[in-house]
Every structure is written in C-alpha cells, then in structure tokens.
Copies of this chain bind each other. A is one copy, B any other.
Amino acid sequence: MASGVKAVILLSGGLDSTTTMAIARSEGYDLYALSINYGQRHRLELDKALKIASFFSAKEHKIIDVDLRGIGGSALTSDIEVPKDRGVDEMSHGIPVTYVPARNTIFLSIALSWAEVIEADSIYLGVNILDYSGYPDCRPEYIKAFENMANLATRAGVEGKNRIKIKTPLINMTKAEIIKKGIELGVDFSITHSCYDPPEEGIACGSCDSCLLRKKGFIEAGITDPIKYAA
C-alpha cells in the first residue's frame, strides 16, 4: 500500500483490539488510534490503550468522552453485577448482562466522524463472534449494514468518493488464533488488559467472562499469559 493511507483503529486496551492494531500496521496503514472513555467501570483500560498506541507508534491517539453511564442498561455502565465463574457454554447462550446497548454502533459512529475528518480509508474493529455469539453488534451482517449506512451518512454518500471500509479481521477467529496472530505480529500482551472487574490495579480477577475466555485462549494457544490474575 502507498504510505500515508490512514486507518482509524478502535482501541480498548484489550487483546482483541491490540491484535487488530497489529494487523492494521502489518497491512501498511498509518494508525490513528481511538479510545472511548464511556464511563466503563475503571479507567485502567484507557491507561493500557495509551501504552499500546505508543508501542505501535500510532500517528495520533484520541480519547473521546461519551457518557454511557447516563444511559445505563449494562453491567459495564451501571451497578448491575459482573457475572463470575460461568462456564464457557453458559457464556455462549443469550445476550450477557455485560452487553452495552448499541455500544459498537456508538463507537463506530465516533470513529466514522474522525475517519471523515482525516480522510481515512478504513476503520478497524476487533470484534469476534465465536466467544460471545449473543452480542448482536459483533455479527458480520451488522458490520455490513453499518458500512452501508456509513457511506450514505458522510460526504462519500453525496460526492461518491472516499468510501469508508469497516474491517473486522478477527471476526471468525478463536481467542487462541487471535493470540497466536498477535504473537506472530510482535504484540506484547503484558500491556493488554481484558478483565471486566479488576480487584486492584495491575491484577485481573480471573473469574469474569472476559478473564475466563482469555485464560482459555492462552492455554489453547500453548502460550503463557504474561498478566497477573487474582484467581
């Protein structure tokens, strides 16, 4: 690819978005990292995102505030309790309470705004459907519908140029495959963060859905997870 082609990467600080960032870099894009401070339970993931953007020499990293605590409706944005010690089978049925209504749509919309301003070619989002099959906004048909809408919402829809592509390279990968891909692309997973409910800074709980999926992924990949767990 010609140098100077821009991509906006939605970067949460987790292992999926970090691997997605590595993939966008490997595809030759200039990286514009975007993290959203949406009132998540802890700001720790934003500190991780800062380190990760710096690790990948992003051209720019924006942290944009949007107050989803004002909307609520999820264990991640209200006082609903984060479930612990669920089996992987249990996680994969229905929509979990950690689902934040329309979160990916809000995040992609803000990414779309920035992408339009800087004339980016693509937006990268690290969703995948295998682990949490219940999240409606991780499915390929949703991503395709968002891309279609995005190209009607912006100058592209009127002027017919600078169409935006929504790229989700992890969408059909298992957690183990994502971890292996990240390692292959030089990701330092010690600076990533996955826990929904860390008991203290720098320690993951080890028993929320996100920790359980991460631990299982590292075991299946045959790689040692470099982060610390309470359990």
Interface residue ranges, A against B (CB under 8 Å): 62-68, 70-73, 95, 100-106, 109-110, 112-114, 116-117, 134, 136-137, 139, 141-142, 145-146, 148-150, 152-158
Contact = CB atoms under 8 A, between A and B. Distances in A.
Given A64-B70, A73-B113, A73-B117, A102 B149 contact: no
A117 B64 contact: no
A109 B105 contact: yes
A105 B100 CA distance: 18
Contact of A116 (B73, B110, B141, B150): B73
Contacts of A104: 153
- The listed residue with most B CB atoms (<10 A of its CB), out of A62, A71, A117, is A71
Contact of A137 (B65, B141, B154): B154
Contact of A136 (B62, B105, B110, B158): B158
6 contacts: A101-B116, A102-B110, A106-B110, A137-B153, A145-B149, A145-B152
Contacts of A145: 145, 148-149, 152-153
Nearest to A158: B136
Contacts of A106: 106, 109-110, 113
Nearest to A149: B145
A119 to B, nearest CB: 10
Contact of A70 (B62, B95, B149): B62
B65 A154 contact: no
Contacts of A116: 73, 101-102
B142 A152 contact: yes
Contact of A67 (B65, B68, B100, B137): B65
A152 B129 CA distance: 14
- The listed residue with most B CB atoms (<10 A of its CB), out of A100, A101, A102, A148, is A102
Contacts of A62: 70-71
B72 A117 contact: yes
A62 B72 CA distance: 12
Contact of A102 (B63, B64, B95, B109): B109
B142 A113 contact: no
Contact of A95 (B65, B152, B158): B158
